[in-house]
C-alpha cells in the first residue's frame, strides 16, 4: 500500500536571509520530495554574499534566481514547517499557529553585525552541516514511501 503524498510548504528563516537560510533553501530545492515547496526569508532581508554563491557552486548547486526576501514575499499562511536559524522565529508575530517550528543553531559568526560576512571556510562548514540537516529532514519522507 502506497502512502499518500501531501503537499508541504517549508520556510527556512533567519535574521537577514543572506547566508544560512539561503544555503538551506538551495540545498532543499535539490533534495525535496515531490509536492514540497521550499521558501526562505529573513526578519530583515540583506544581500546574499558572493562567498555563499561560490560555496554552493562548489557543490554543484546554482543559486540563480534566489534573492534575499522578507516574510511578505512568502505565502506565510500556507507554511507547514518553519526551520528557524537561531531565534529568528521569535521575532515574527505572523507565523501560522499550525506550523511546526524546528530550531537549528546559528553559529556566532553568522549572528554578527549587518555587513560582516563570515569567511569562505566558515560558510563551507555551515553549508556542509546544513546539507546533512536538510538530508535528514527529508529522509523520513523517503523511508515511508512503499
Q: Within a domain: residue 94?
A: yes
Q: Within a domain: residue 131?
A: yes
- Domain of 132, CATH number, reads 3.40.50.2300
**Alpha helices, DSSP H only, in the chain?**
20-31, 50-58, 120-143
Range of the domain at 96: 8-143
Q: Within a domain: residue 1?
A: no
Q: Within a domain: residue 3?
A: no
pLDDT tens track, the chain, 146 positions: 444 556 899 999 999 999 999 999 999 999 998 889 999 999 999 999 999 999 999 999 999 889 999 999 999 999 999 999 999 999 998 898 889 999 999 887 776 555 567 889 999 999 999 999 999 998 865 555 44
What pTM value is reported for the model? 0.89
Q: 3-class DSSP state for residue 38?
A: strand
Number of domains the chain contains: 1
Amino acid at each position: 500500500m502506497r502512502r499518500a503524498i501531501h503537499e508541504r510548504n517549508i520556510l527556512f528563516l533567519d535574521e537577514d536571509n543572506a547566508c544560512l537560510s539561503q544555503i538551506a533553501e538551495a540545498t532543499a530545492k535539490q533534495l525535496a520530495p515531490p509536492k514540497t515547496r521550499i521558501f526562505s526569508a529573513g526578519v530583515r532581508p540583506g544581500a546574499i554574499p558572493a562567498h555563499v554563491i561560490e560555496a554552493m557552486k562548489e557543490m554543484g548547486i546554482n543559486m540563480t534566481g534566489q534573492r534575499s526576501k522578507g516574510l511578505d514575499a512568502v505565502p506565510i499562511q500556507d507554511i507547514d514547517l518553519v526551520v528557524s536559524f537561531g531565534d529568528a522565529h521569535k521575532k515574527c508575530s505572523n507565523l501560522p499557529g499550525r506550523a511546526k517550528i524546528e530550531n537549528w543553531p546559528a553559529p556566532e559568526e553568522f549572528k554578527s553585525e549587518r555587513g560582516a560576512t563570515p569567511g569562505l571556510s566558515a560558510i563551507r562548514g555551515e553549508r556542509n552541516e546544513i546539507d546533512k540537516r536538510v538530508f535528514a529532514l527529508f529522509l523520513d519522507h523517503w523511508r515511508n514511501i512503499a
